[in-house]
Amino acid sequence: MPTILDIFNQDAFSAASLTGNIAMVPNSYGRINELGLFTAEPVATTSVIVMIENGVLNLLPTRPRGGPASLGTRGKQKPASFVVPHIPHEDSVLATDVQNMLALTSNGDAGLETVLGFLNRKLITMRRKHAITLENLRMGAVKGIIRDSDGSVLLNLFTSFGVTEQVVDFLLGTPATDVVGKCQDVTGYMEDNLLGETMTGVHALCSPEWFRKFITHASVKTAYTYYASAPNPMRQDVRKGFEFGGITFEEYRGSASFMQEDGTTSVAQRFIPAGDVRFIPLGTTDTFTNYWAPPDFWGSVNQAPNGADSEVFV
């Protein structure tokens, strides 16, 4: 009787091994991820409650010795509940995907495709899809409005937290604009509204159009005319980042296609629209948090994830 080899029951195809394979693929897409803004917090539930606490900070009056002390005032707390988005993605490997297909071997020669080799490449593609999806969600959090893959609004953080978006017009089309003063307006506003937080600096992610107008503005060019140290926008490509007015400015080209109702994808849309720039406080502790909820499988019910941002289930 012939023996049928069931390769999918081998250890290499177990959920743990596949998760290990996918974890070896670096999250190569995502400047927000590289900046390390978000603190990962695994939770055992599919929703979280964030306590919005307005602390009270006031001057303390002097009192005569032996007299009563001033009393502390408790801050007001307001809970806000958020549902953690669930983003499953499925794919399959069929016999026809592997049969008669060629692939490069470890020594660089062409050979027949293997199931494991094809599966790993499939996992790499799935991993990259999750990476760009996570970048979209995180950029949405930075901008204040988180959008789904079809462009619809998942969460408006301005209304959820009761804050108003602050807009600063740099007036880069006006040669006489004091750009350093505009930078100080941005950092000053952030410092005044940290509400108990601290920051170590400010990072600006700029659309290519805004960045080009910024580095060619008269006041920026004048400031760097006699500046010999690198990086210098007068003589070098500084799109990866340079400091001006206490802010690190960087050109950001992140974009993705959104799924449309008919199943087709849209033209790639930038995460930061043309002519726009977003300023981000650096070094804060609680400003940005990434909550990881349990996947929709029996073995993970009411259990906080192990910290990996992607897991494979078969």
Q: What secondary structure does DSSP assign to 13-80, as a single string?
A: GSHHHHHHHHHTS---S-HHHHHT-PEEEE-SSSEEEEEEEE----PPPP--TTSPPPPP-PPEEEEE
**190-221 residues labelled b (16+ CB within 10 A) or e (exposed):** beeeeeeeebeebbbbbbebbbebbbebebbe
**Per-residue pLDDT averaged across 242-254, rounded?**
91
Q: Please tell me the predicted confidence (pLDDT) of residue 4.
A: 46
Mean pLDDT in residue range 113-120:
84
Q: For the chain, how many residues are written?
A: 314
What is the number of other CB atoms lying within 10 angstroms of the CB of residue 115? 16
Share of the chain above pLDDT 90, in %: 31
For 34, counting Cβ atoms within 10 Å of its Cβ (0-12 exposed, 13-18 middle, 19+ buried), the class is exposed
Give the burial class of 184: count Cβ atoms within 10 A of its Cβ; 0-12 exposed, 13-18 middle, 19 or more buried.
Answer: middle
If phi over 0 gives left and psi between -120 and 50 gives alpha, with beta otherwise, what is residue 162? left
175 pLDDT above the threshold of 90: yes
- C-alpha closest to that of 288 among 33, 38, 32, 35: 38
- The answer to whether residue 247 scores a pLDDT higher than 80 is yes
What are 106's two structure tokens?
A: 């470890």
Average pLDDT, the chain: 82
Angle of CA points 201, 204, 210, to nearest 5°:
155
For residues 8-36, average pLDDT: 62
Instruction: Answer with the residue of higher pLDDT: 20 or 202.
Output: 202
Residue 27 has pLDDT above 70, yes or no: no
Q: What is the pLDDT of residue 5?
A: 47
Is the pLDDT at 224 greater than 60? The verdict is yes
Residue with more model confidence, 136 or 30 = 136
Task: Quote the pLDDT of residue 218.
Answer: 92
pLDDT tens for each residue of 177-215: 999 999 999 999 999 988 778 899 999 999 999 999 998
Where exactly are the structural domains of the chain?
Answer: 9-50+79-300
Q: Which residue has the higher pLDDT, 34 or 29?
A: 34
The arithmetic mean of pLDDT across residues 104-123, rounded, is 79
- Other beta carbons within 10 Å of 116: 17
Q: What's the rounded mean pLDDT across residues 60-85?
A: 76
Q: Percentage of the chain with pLDDT > 70?
A: 78
Q: Is the pLDDT of residue 300 over 50?
A: yes
* 210 compared with 12, residue with greater pLDDT: 210
Q: What is the DSSP string of 260-276?
A: PTTSPBPPPEESS-TT-
Higher-confidence residue of 289 and 312: namely 289
Task: Give residue 230's pLDDT.
Answer: 57
Is residue 265 predicted with pLDDT exceeding 80?
no
pLDDT given for residue 151 in this prediction: 82
Looking only at Cα atoms, what is the longest distance across the chain? Answer: 100
Residue 314 near residue 16, CB atoms below 8 Å: no
Percentage helix, strand, coil, to 5, in the chain?
A: 30, 20, 50
* pTM of the model as a whole: 0.81
**Core vs surface per residue 136-162: b (16+ CB within 10 A) or e:** bbbbbbbbbebbbbeeeeebebeeeee
Q: What is the pLDDT of residue 203?
A: 96
Q: Which two tokens stand for residue 72?
A: 């502390």
pLDDT given for residue 60 in this prediction: 64
Rounded Cα distance between 50 and 79, Å, is 6
Overall average pLDDT of the 38-44 stretch:
90
Per-residue pLDDT at 64 exceeds 70: yes
Lowest mean pLDDT segment, chosen from 17-26, 115-124, 198-207, 236-245: 17-26
Alpha-carbon span 190 to 281, nearest angstrom: 7
